[in-house]
């Protein structure tokens, strides 16, 4: 990342030095605070791969993001049929998030093998292609996060959040852009050409950081006049 001028550049004129110091501290504090918030947040779906090129057997996976080291015992991932709302898949998770804050549950083939590198739990499952949904529930059945994908017609059941994400073409996954949960699948997820099990989304949304820096930069320019 290229640092904005006021974080390293020549000292601006009259009165701006202390403001620059204050802004720098505020930005660093905001970054630290957002890390803390994200690390403590409840688990999120971070990537879903439901349609491999060719057979899905031993290929598909769900990646969760959560607190490093936290248990996933009791969490349940459900597949929800878009045509009637029925549960097509129900996965009971066991284990814990790695030190990277990720947990990957992967499908196995008839021999018990998976093509998913670094999987934390192996189960046998396959989600339908869209329009369908994947829901993450806690041990009491409360939905913690949900992803609906594809074009839902009237009368079909969307069990995601906000507007659905697009249906990923074969070989592509749906992955979170960052770890901010906006409650809108169309904003939070994007089609990823190369699935990345075990590689998480960016913790902080880069556009928002850019906006914050632009505002701070403009304030300094006004102050320095």
Where do contacts with Ca ion occur on this chain (CB under 5 A)? 47, 51-52, 56, 63, 145, 161, 181, 196, 199
Using the 8-state DSSP alphabet, how is residue 202 labeled?
B
Judged by beta carbon, residue 120 or residue 161, the one nearer Ca ion is 161
Judged by beta carbon, residue 23 or residue 181, the one nearer Ca ion is 181
From the centroid of its chain, how far is CA 213? 24
Q: How far is the CB of 121 from Ca ion (least distance, A)?
A: 15
Bond before 179 cis per omega within 30 degrees: no
Q: How far is the CB of 186 from Ca ion (least distance, A)?
A: 12
Judged by beta carbon, residue 132 or residue 145, the one nearer Ca ion is 145
Structure tokens at 207: 């556009």
Q: How far is the CB of 7 from Ca ion (least distance, A)?
A: 31
Asked if 165 and 146 touch (Cβ cutoff 8 Å), the reply is: no
Structure tokens at 69: 């080291």
Asked if 202 and 190 touch (Cβ cutoff 8 Å), the reply is: no
Judged by beta carbon, residue 175 or residue 220, the one nearer Ca ion is 175
Q: How far is the CB of 196 from Ca ion (least distance, A)?
A: 4
Helices (H), the chain: 16-40, 185-188, 206-224
Q: How far is the CB of 182 from Ca ion (least distance, A)?
A: 8
223: left (phi over 0), alpha (psi -120 to 50) or beta: alpha
Judged by beta carbon, residue 21 or residue 208, the one nearer Ca ion is 208
Q: How far is the CB of 184 from Ca ion (least distance, A)?
A: 8
Q: Collapse the DSSP code of 89 into the 3-class scheme (helix H, G, I; strand E, B; otherwise coil) and give the result.
A: strand
Judged by beta carbon, residue 6 or residue 127, the one nearer Ca ion is 127
Bond before 131 cis per omega within 30 degrees: yes
């Amino acid at each position: 990342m290229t640092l904005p001028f006021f974080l390293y550049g020549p000292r601006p004129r009259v009165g701006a030095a202390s403001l620059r110091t204050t802004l720098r501290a505020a930005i660093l504090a905001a970054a630290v605070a957002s890390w803390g918030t994200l690390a403590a947040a409840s688990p999120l779906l971070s990537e879903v791969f439901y349609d491999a090129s060719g057979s899905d057997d031993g290929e598909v996976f769900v990646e969760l993001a959560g607190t490093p080291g936290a248990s996933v015992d009791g969490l349940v991932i459900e597949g929800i049929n878009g045509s009637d709302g029925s549960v097509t898949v129900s996965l009971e998770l066991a284990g814990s998030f790695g030190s990277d804050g990720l947990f990957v549950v992967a499908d196995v083939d008839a021999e018990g093998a998976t093509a998913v590198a670094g999987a934390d739990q192996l189960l046998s499952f396959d989600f339908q292609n869209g329009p369908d949904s994947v829901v993450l529930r806690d041990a009491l059945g409360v939905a913690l996060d949900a992803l609906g994908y594809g074009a839902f017609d009237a009368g079909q059941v969307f069990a995601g959040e906000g507007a659905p994400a697009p249906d990923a073409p074969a070989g592509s996954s749906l992955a979170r852009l960052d770890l901010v949960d906006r409650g809108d699948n169309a904003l939070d997820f994007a089609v990823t050409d190369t699935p990345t099990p075990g590689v998480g989304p960016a913790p902080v949304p880069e556009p928002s950081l850019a906006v914050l820096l632009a505002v701070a930069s403009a304030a300094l320019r006004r102050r320095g006049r």
